[in-house]
Structure 1
Amino acid sequence: MRNYITAAIVGVCAIIAFAIVARAYKYRSTTTETIVVTGLAEKDFNSDLIVWSGSYSRKSFDLKAAYADLKNDEATIKAYLAKMDIAANEVVFSSVNINKDFTSEMDANGRFMGQRFNGYNLTQTVTVESKNVDKVDKLSREATELIQGGIEFNSTPPRFYNTQLKNVKMELLAQASADAKARAEAIAKNAGSSLGKLKKANMGVFQITGKNSNEDYSYGGAFNTSSRNKTGSITIRMEFQAD
């Protein structure tokens, strides 16, 4: 009797073990039957907004005199920009930055003896933000008239932006998704299988670089502002079930 019970227990255990192995094999086979691909999309686009800045300064021992000279420079710059057909609402003048200039005095042995006051340095910045990219881009390279007028004007390179980036990004996402699906379908077809439902999708980082440049992508996403003509790109990683 005991032998029959032992045999029955062994038989039940064998059935349970077989069921566990079968389920594990089924789980392993279903989880590995996937196709993982990365889709890529790129698009060239132009900037429709330009931001250009320049600074100018005056120096004097007399603070009031330096401030008056700086305000005269501001009036001259306003008149110049108006003559160049730059709208007043596209121009912003910063507040005046005032610094005291000192020179350290040393004796013959290199010991610090004190500071000599050299005067006040007053600096102001003007910024032009406009949708007229051609005009302001040209103006940023031809501000010599201000220098010839006695203004120490330092022009900075303009920055270029696109105000429709949201639309560009949505278009690239659609193209990258279609590219990923096409890759997955090609893999499935060559493997004698068919493409099943989408299991997972992860969007990559949106990158903006100068067109035809050798800029590197960055982990957080490149955002070029120095080039007027740009290239946007994005990747998307998709995982499909293979049937």
Structure 2
Amino acid sequence: MAVLSLGGFIGASMVLVRGFRTVENTITVTGASTESFESDIAKWSVQVKTSGKTQIDSFSKHKESMKKTMDFLKANGIEDGIKQAVYLGPASIKEYETKHPKTNEIIRTEWITYQNIEIESRDVYNIQKTHSQITELLGKGVRVKPSRPEFTYSKLADKRVDMLAKAAKDARIRAEAIALEAGSEVGGLKRVNTGVFQITVPNSTKVSSWGSYDTTTIKKDITAVMGVTFAVKK
């Protein structure tokens, strides 16, 4: 098993052949090139929510909650800079009324202020760590609703051609081995059917006919599948 180190792409490479079939004077094999890699971009959002009896009361509390949240993020190394971007969305204030179920009389009015903090960072492990700790803000009276971070890989497109080439090359090797056992010889390429890419958590067995792209983990496996048909000489 070869070990690859290509920029931010580190992992083991292996090639599989899922099966083969022969039709007339051809042989078709399905090869899959699988590699492991680590994400290099994390996207994460945090919603801060406050409530008050009046619009002014709600917004005043919201400013304090936002300060505590931004201070927490900064203390954990998350602030606008070269390696990451922190964007504050506009604050939104809504009025909610609670009515009596029988008389329809308004018995309570509450103002809710929402604001989202959008984060994109190349320090993926720090985002993962901070996400696991952000509920500490609840103990400080801050109502936060963090999303699950999305981990992606910025150089994925550069790897696709290389992986398909490896799958095609291995498919020929496998076809030649199968043909040799049958007393035949593999000829020229007749047809190529490029399949979908499966990007999954490490060692996952899940596949999708439309392809998949799991963003829940930093470490991932990517599999490229290619069906190749060769001519067979008797």
For the aligned pair, the TM-score class normalised by the smaller chain equals 0.7 to 0.9
- 2:4 corresponds to: none
Runs of 4+ in 1 over 6 A off after TM superposition: none
RMSD: 2.1
Task: Give me the whole-angstrom Cα distance separating, in 2, the residues matched to 1:240 and 1:213.
Answer: 31
SS at match of 2:196: coil
Task: Give me the whole-angstrom Cα distance separating, in 2, the residues matched to 1:151 and 1:181.
Answer: 60
Q: Could you tell which deviates more after superposition, 81-90 or 46-55?
A: 81-90
Task: Give me the whole-angstrom Cα distance separating, in 2, the residues matched to 1:183 and 1:115.
Answer: 75
Q: Does 1:208 align with 2:176?
A: no
- 1:153 corresponds to: 144
Q: CA deviation at 1:114?
A: 5.5
What pairs with 1:68-87 in structure 2 (closer than 5 Å)?
A: 68-87=60-79
Q: Identity across aligned pairs (percent)?
A: 28
Aligned pairs, number:
208
Q: Does 1:140 align with 2:127?
A: no
2:111 pairs with one of 106, 120, 124: 120
1:174 pairs with one of 165, 175, 187: 165
Letter in 2 for 1:41: S
What per-residue deviation string (whole Å, max 9, x for no partner) do you get for residues 49-85 of structure 1?
1122221211123112212221232233223322322
Q: Is the 8 A contact 2:99 2:108 kept in 1?
A: no
- Richer in helix (by share): 1
Task: Give me the whole-angstrom Cα distance separating, in 1, the residues matched to 2:163 and 2:98.
Answer: 56
Q: Is the 8 A contact 2:196 2:211 kept in 1?
A: yes
Kindly indicate whether structure 1 or structure 2 has the higher relative contact order, using CA contacts under 8 Å at least 6 residues apart: 1
Task: Give me the whole-angstrom Cα distance separating, in 2, the residues matched to 1:159 and 1:105.
Answer: 43
Q: Is the 8 A contact 1:82 1:88 kept in 2?
A: no
- Richer in strand (by share): 2
1:43 pairs with one of 20, 29, 35: 35
Q: Does 1:197 align with 2:192?
A: no
- 1:186 corresponds to: 177
- 2:92 corresponds to: 97
Q: Is the 8 A contact 1:46 1:230 kept in 2?
A: yes
Task: Give me the whole-angstrom Cα distance separating, in 2, the residues matched to 1:67 and 1:51.
Answer: 27
- 2:225 corresponds to: 235
Task: Give me the whole-angstrom Cα distance separating, in 2, the residues matched to 1:73 and 1:55.
Answer: 11
Q: Tell me which structure has the larger Cα radius of gyration.
A: 1
Gaps of 5+ in 2: 1-22
The TM-score, its normalising length taken from structure 2, stands at: 0.80
Task: Give me the whole-angstrom Cα distance separating, in 2, the residues matched to 1:69 and 1:104.
Answer: 25
Gaps of 5+ in 1: 1-30
